[in-house]
Structure 1
Amino acid sequence: MPIVIGIVAVLVVIGLFTNNDDEPANTPSATPTTGVDLDTPPDTTEAPAPVAPQVGTAIQAVVPDVVGMNHQLAQDTLQANGFYVLVEEDATGQGRQLVWDRNWEVVSQSVAGGTAAPIDTTITLRSKKIDE
């Protein structure tokens, strides 16, 4: 029992001489701060009601003519004009995947170049390998 009392006494003495400058003071400030300005009346205005989207008002853009371009450049051109819903097909009917887009050439597009269309329109690019 005397050992426990000695250890407790040592810990108390160490605690009294330890520098606690890193810890915030526990003394309350003279003026409590609440973050609320009590002199200003509360704002009672209501937020405006959300506006429902109107049917048929999609953003439109002119579809560029990409026939004759390499497939990658055609995709880049369509996307630069706001068209991101793109489908690709092998124009030869062989069902091949267009893995390396740069060696394919667009032979037709589902929405003609120069046509105004909503930017969420699906545009199908039919391509064949260059030199076929």
Structure 2
Amino acid sequence: MLKFVVGVALAAVATSCGPSQIGTTPSPGAPPATSTSPLIHHWAMPNLVGSGLQDAQDAIQKLTGNEIFFSGSHDVSGKGRHQILDRDWKVCSQNIAAGTQIQAGVKIDFGVVKLAEQCP
């Protein structure tokens, strides 16, 4: 009797599931199940002039959810120094104006001087 009950239960489940969708093609004009085009995010570039370099970098990462993770910087004093410890530098200029729409892949560059120095 138990075999009969289990067999009837399995038959009921199999018939209630309907036909398999594996290998079927969507009807003409139907939207695809997944999109192949990535969602492109845009953000307004903040004004980071006057910020510490590390704070400016952190602000871009936070704004974009790390979609823009790296930014560049260069010494605007004319001395050609490298920014080894970002916390020792302040932002004098940025290559993208505040309010400009940015997206992943954009090259952000900050013009910087040492904290104790004046911006040119």
TM-score calculated relative to the size of structure 2? 0.64
Post-superposition Cα deviations, 1:81-113, rounded to whole Å, max 9, x if no partner, equal 113241111111222111111111100000011
Please say if 1:110 is aligned against 2:95. Answer: yes
Asked if the contact 1:85/1:120 (under 8 Å) is kept, the reply is no
Taking the aligned partners of 1:60 and 1:93, their CA distance within structure 2 comes to 33
60, 64, 71: which one pairs with 1:86? 71
- Partners of 2:78 and 2:25 lie apart in 1 by 60
TM-score normalized with structure 1 length: 0.59
State the distance in 2 between where 1:122 and 1:95 align.
20
Q: 2:43 corresponds to which residue?
A: 61
Runs (5+) with no aligned partner, structure 2: 1-9, 27-31
Amino acid at match of 2:116: D
Give the one of 34, 38, 54 matched to 1:72.
54
- Rg larger in structure: 1
Structure 1 CA distance, aligned partners of 2:86 and 2:50? 13
Q: Residue 58 of structure 1: CA displacement?
A: 3.0
State the identity as a percent.
Answer: 31
